[in-house]
Structure 1
């Protein structure tokens, strides 16, 4: 059963229940075992997903620089998918290479917003989505800060090269997947705080 379809929690206090019904405020969904979602547990999910995405991105970039830079592309599926090292000064998929500093600041701002939002997080799907965004943003921000040509202007290491498409990395993939999941959750009416809106 999906989180949006779970049973709506009934407060133990009848007065609180009546107050919520009278105000028309959306109710927070409960877990399948009947207990309300706990914020700290959701923050742990977010942190775990972010750490996994960040570590995987960091490891693959180190391997790319070590094994693929200044080397011919490695064919995975012939010409349709190759691994090759590319330094990208722009955003995801090589967009806006002249705006490196701007994208660095945007990535830092996204990280701050996600961390602030985590305090009100009561939804596991949202924790996963925000974790993917956070891990991806941290991965590319690390390149911006530590790689050449310098701090705030560092070029991101990309290596996944599909035919007729831009070269990207796992951080880009995590950001895109997190964004798609957020769109789906929003369409379903599920908010980060665990409330469900049924229009």
Structure 2
């Protein structure tokens, strides 16, 4: 989990560093015409730039998410859930770092977005990790795969429980 989180964090921050230098001044790079363009957007809000006036709330939410993921990870024994929590932790931590240390001020920083999906929204690598992690979380939940308590973990099954 931690390894994946660090990989997501490093790739996201490196790609944002690249975007800040290569796409500043209004530069755009078309990857797939009308579908995928790289352009710089500094986002003070959440998805779709919602809540631009309450950036500090998103800072607190990201800090809470990071703390919650680390708390949940204490029970982690499933490799699939390790992928989920690693992707979520990496994405949330990267967004938290943006909020804390990017301009305009501490805990009010703007997230660097640069992947434009056909004009629908603009995101970054952390958003991809967060979306993928949430999708996998949903699938694991639907299938009833527990965060902890995999077979053979030493717990008694219902048939073995003397109570």
TM-score by length of 1: 0.73
Q: Distance in 2 between matches of 1:72 and 1:170?
A: 19
Q: How many residues align?
A: 151
Q: Distance in 2 between matches of 1:178 and 1:72?
A: 31
**Contact 1:93 1:172 (8 Å CA) reproduced:** no
Would you say 1:187 and 2:138 are equivalent positions? Answer: no
Q: Distance in 2 between matches of 1:70 and 1:194?
A: 52
**Contact 1:92 1:172 (8 Å CA) reproduced:** no
CA RMSD of aligned residues (A): 1.3
Partner of residue 4, structure 2: 49
TM-score by length of 2: 0.88
**Contact 1:94 1:167 (8 Å CA) reproduced:** no
Larger Rg belongs to:
1
Question: Structure 1 residue 136: deviation in Å?
Answer: 0.2
Q: Distance in 1 between matches of 2:48 and 2:82?
A: 25
Structure with higher strand content = 2
Q: Distance in 1 between matches of 2:63 and 2:7?
A: 19
Q: Distance in 2 between matches of 1:151 and 1:112?
A: 19
Would you say 1:107 and 2:62 are equivalent positions? Answer: yes
Q: Deviations over 1:65-102 (max 9, x none)?
A: 01111132111112321000100001134232222111
Task: Give the counterpart of 2:127 among 172, 180, 195.
Answer: 172
Q: Match of 1:76, SS?
A: strand
Question: Structure 1 residue 195: deviation in Å?
Answer: 4.4
